[in-house]
Amino acid sequence: MKLKEIYALAVEAGIAADPRGQKSVEKDLAKAKKRYDKLEEKDKEYFDQESLTNPYSDTRILNGEKELEIKKIAVGIDIEVGELLLADRLISKGEKIDLVLAHHPEGYALAGLSEVMHIQEGILADLGVPINVAEGMMASRISEVKRGLMPYNHGRTIDTAKALGIPLMCVHTPADNLVTEFLNQYFAQQEPDTLDDLVSLLKEIPEYKKAAKLKAGPTIVVGNGKRSVGKIFIDMTGGTGGSEDAFEKLAIAGVGTIVGMHISEKHRKNAEKFHINVVIAGHMASDSLGVNLFLDKLTQKGIEILPISGFDRFSRNPEVS
């Protein structure tokens, strides 16, 4: 596959699994086009034109020619300078690596992370929170995340990739969308009754089973194992943690249990205050699940995978590894 084809497949997969639905995604793309068309010519050079076709600002080709042929990919959850030096060392020892693929964004994809948090507004609205309330709650949190990312040395990892001549790409929200879709379907089929049931079901998924053995697996952080699950909210996509004010609205909307990757102490206390159960499935395990679901699409096309940097490869394609 060419690098541009892998990128296009990531965007396509993300849109197909977007929890807001394809119409909402198309509306976002139309808004981006409208903003671009209204710009004066002198301002258009600063507009991220990838956003006209890719609604996920945290998923980008960070280094490498789009026409480059890719046969083998080194894949990690976090790819920074150390991981790129590892890839360079492996290449020098004879390992054929055509691309390094990160899950978590780097460079301008990281700088744009706050932009994908608007996805959470649509998810909250689908759960029953009025869209105006969802947008109001998320506004301050999105601004907070944007400000928090400003001091970062965004170019460090990309500069290293360029200096070493290593193609680099990140796939964040599309992979997270795939996790959300997978777990929503899984729990709809299995219908867990209690939190213990839910955790046991998670541990039947290979990524979470391995994480549990490493003491990083599914954990109940609000509630106890005998509590009823109720309505499940899979909180796996939308950039990073949302508003701490959301829990009261989620309780009113009938959410009984949140299944997420991670949670801050402030968020945890608010969930407890409003009697919403919280199960943390595990961050690296959840990220690995999402990346694996995407990589299954690549291995079907003959791409080889070399796992690094906290990524555990489990294939759901019986004929390939």
d(CA 218, CA 30): 39
Burial state string for 89-101 with b = 16 or more CB within 10 A and e = fewer than 16: eebeeeeebbbbb
Determine if residue 56 is left, alpha or beta; phi over 0 gives left, psi from -120 to 50 gives alpha, anything else beta. Answer: beta
Angle between helical axes of 3-16 and 283-299 (0-180°, round to 10): 120
Predicted local confidence at residue 321, as pLDDT = 47
| Domains of the chain: residue spans and CATH | 3-172+286-307 (no CATH), 178-282 (3.40.1390.30)
Residue-by-residue DSSP string for 212-252:
HHTT-S-EEEES-TTSB--EEEEE--SSS---TTHHHHHHH
Contact in structure between 120 and 142 (CB atoms under 8 Å): no
Q: Tell me which residues of the chain have a pLDDT lower than 70.
A: 319-321
What pTM did the predictor assign?
A: 0.95
Predicted local confidence at residue 161, as pLDDT = 98
Partners of residue 233 on adjacent β-strands? 258
Tens digits of per-residue pLDDT, 189-226? 999 999 999 999 999 999 999 999 999 999 999 999 99
Q: Look at the block and give the residue holding tokens 């990083």.
A: 216
Predicted local confidence at residue 318, as pLDDT = 75
Predicted local confidence at residue 317, as pLDDT = 87
Partners of residue 118 on adjacent β-strands? none
Tens digits of per-residue pLDDT, 162-191? 999 999 999 999 999 999 999 999 999 999
Predicted local confidence at residue 319, as pLDDT = 62
Separate counts of helices (H) and strands (E) for the chain: 13, 9
Closest CA relative to residue 57, chosen from 11, 13, 5, 20? 11
**pLDDT, the chain, mean:** 96
d(CA 31, CA 72): 37
